[in-house]
């Protein structure tokens, strides 16, 4: 974990209606440490910027170039301040943070990645790593419209992409569950996106005994476990319930450990 002022290489709007922005940072030491599924805490270096940093999932890691990338959606004062920064300026970055995806289970030969909203972006480094390990990948992406489906071209190089939009402007019309087969053949499921979508996808995977990991999103104050502002209810293998920090013990958890109600 490092606190640096990273140079901004790119900060541009990539979706006009959906308000998605892409920011690429020059941060060699951070890029060398980062793993798929981890996140960073960012804040614009301006007098009007909110004090608290904003958690951003890592969308791309390029160790050769020493760069990392995030895709963020305008949601308030913090992201609005970020959106006004220009290439060449610097931004405060703390990271990499959290526990990323478990990509080492023995015997994993095929996996399904399910993403929606901003969560789609954080699945890209995972898809790339799975491809490097010769693990077959299906990628299911969902959103309200084509404006809300991001990284499509990059995902097309990693595996088979299945896309659903509620208004039918990209892929099949409907929600992602239209792609949930009755006999899933996967050895692992990885899910990131809006909570209702994650719960539905996790329930599908667990119903067919497919091991399933989910990446949770919570409001965070510090990003490294001190403030206790992002706890979630957690159940261990013995059934004991406790509270764990999404920023420290997560953001990735086994679905059975956090989605056990209902």
Contacts (Cβ under 8 Å, ≥6 apart) of 175: 142, 164, 166, 197
Query: For residue 187, what are the CA distances in angstroms to 209, 220, 251, 254?
Result: 9, 32, 21, 14
At residue 46, the pLDDT reads 58
At residue 168, the pLDDT reads 97
Residues of the chain with CATH 3.40.50.80: 110-258
Q: What is the pLDDT of residues 29-47, one digit of tens each?
A: 999 999 999 999 998 765 5
State the Cα–Cα distance between residues 189 and 129, nearest whole angstrom: 15
At residue 104, the pLDDT reads 79
Task: Please state, as a whole number, how many other Cβ atoms lie within 10 Å of the Cβ of residue 240.
Answer: 8
State the Cα–Cα distance between residues 104 and 43, nearest whole angstrom: 33
- Beta carbons of 122 and 59 less than 8 angstroms apart: yes
State the Cα–Cα distance between residues 123 and 65, nearest whole angstrom: 20
At residue 84, the pLDDT reads 93
Architecture of domain 110-258: 3-Layer(aba) Sandwich (3.40)
State the Cα–Cα distance between residues 186 and 208, nearest whole angstrom: 10
- Beta carbons of 156 and 170 less than 8 angstroms apart: no
State the Cα–Cα distance between residues 115 and 122, nearest whole angstrom: 9
At residue 219, the pLDDT reads 82
Angle at 59 between CA 154 and CA 234, to 5 degrees: 125
At residue 228, the pLDDT reads 85
Computed from CA positions of residues 141, 147, 150, 152, in that sequence, does the dihedral angle turn out positive or negative? Answer: positive
State the Cα–Cα distance between residues 214 and 191, nearest whole angstrom: 5
**3-state secondary structure at position 6:** strand
CATH topology of domain 2-97: Elongation Factor Tu (Ef-tu); domain 3 (2.40.30)
State the Cα–Cα distance between residues 187 and 157, nearest whole angstrom: 21
Structure tokens given for 151? 């990284």
Residues in the chain, total: 262
Question: Is the previous residue joined to 96 through a cis bond, with omega within 30 degrees of 0?
Answer: yes
Radius of gyration of the chain (CA): 18
Residues of the chain with CATH 2.40.30.10: 2-97
Question: Is the previous residue joined to 38 through a cis bond, with omega within 30 degrees of 0?
Answer: no
State the Cα–Cα distance between residues 227 and 107, nearest whole angstrom: 38
Q: What is the pLDDT along the chain (262 residues), one digit of tens a residue?
A: 889 999 999 999 999 999 999 999 999 999 999 999 999 999 876 555 555 688 999 999 999 999 999 999 998 888 888 999 999 999 999 999 999 999 877 788 999 999 999 999 999 999 999 999 999 999 999 999 999 999 999 999 999 999 999 999 999 999 999 999 888 999 999 999 999 999 999 999 999 999 999 999 888 878 888 888 899 999 998 889 999 999 999 999 999 999 987 5
Question: In this structure, are strands 54-57 and 252-254 parallel, antiparallel, or unpaired?
Answer: unpaired
Residue 148 phi/psi, 5° resolution?
A: -100, 5
């Amino acid at each position: 974990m490092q606190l640096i002022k990273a140079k901004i290489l790119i900060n541009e709007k990539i979706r006009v209606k959906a308000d998605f922005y892409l920011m690429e940072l020059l941060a060699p030491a951070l890029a060398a440490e980062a793993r798929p599924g981890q996140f960073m805490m960012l804040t614009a270096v301006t007098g009007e910027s909110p004090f608290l940093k904003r958690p951003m999932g890592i969308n791309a890691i390029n160790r050769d170039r020493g760069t990392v990338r995030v895709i963020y959606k305008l949601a308030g004062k913090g992201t609005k301040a970020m959106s006004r920064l220009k290439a060449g300026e610097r931004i405060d970055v703390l990271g990499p943070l959290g526990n990323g995806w478990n990509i080492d289970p023995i015997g994993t030969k095929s996996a399904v990645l399910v993403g929606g909203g901003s969560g789609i972006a954080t699945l890209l480094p995972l898809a790339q790593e799975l491809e490097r390990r010769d693990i077959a990948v299906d990628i299911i992406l969902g959103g309200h419209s084509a404006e809300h489906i991001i990284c499509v071209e990059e995902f097309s190089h990693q595996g088979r992409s299945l896309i659903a939009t509620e208004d039918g402007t990209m892929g099949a019309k409907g929600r992602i569950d239209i792609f949930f087969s009755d006999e899933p053949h996967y050895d692992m499921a990885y899910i990131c996106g809006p909570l209702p979508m994650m719960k539905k996808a996790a329930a599908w995977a667990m119903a067919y005994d497919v091991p399933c990991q989910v990446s949770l999103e919570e409001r965070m104050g510090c990003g490294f476990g001190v403030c206790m502002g992002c706890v979630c209810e957690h159940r261990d293998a013995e059934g004991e319930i406790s509270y764990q920090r999404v920023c420290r013990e997560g953001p990735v958890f086994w679905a059975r450990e956090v989605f056990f109600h209902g």
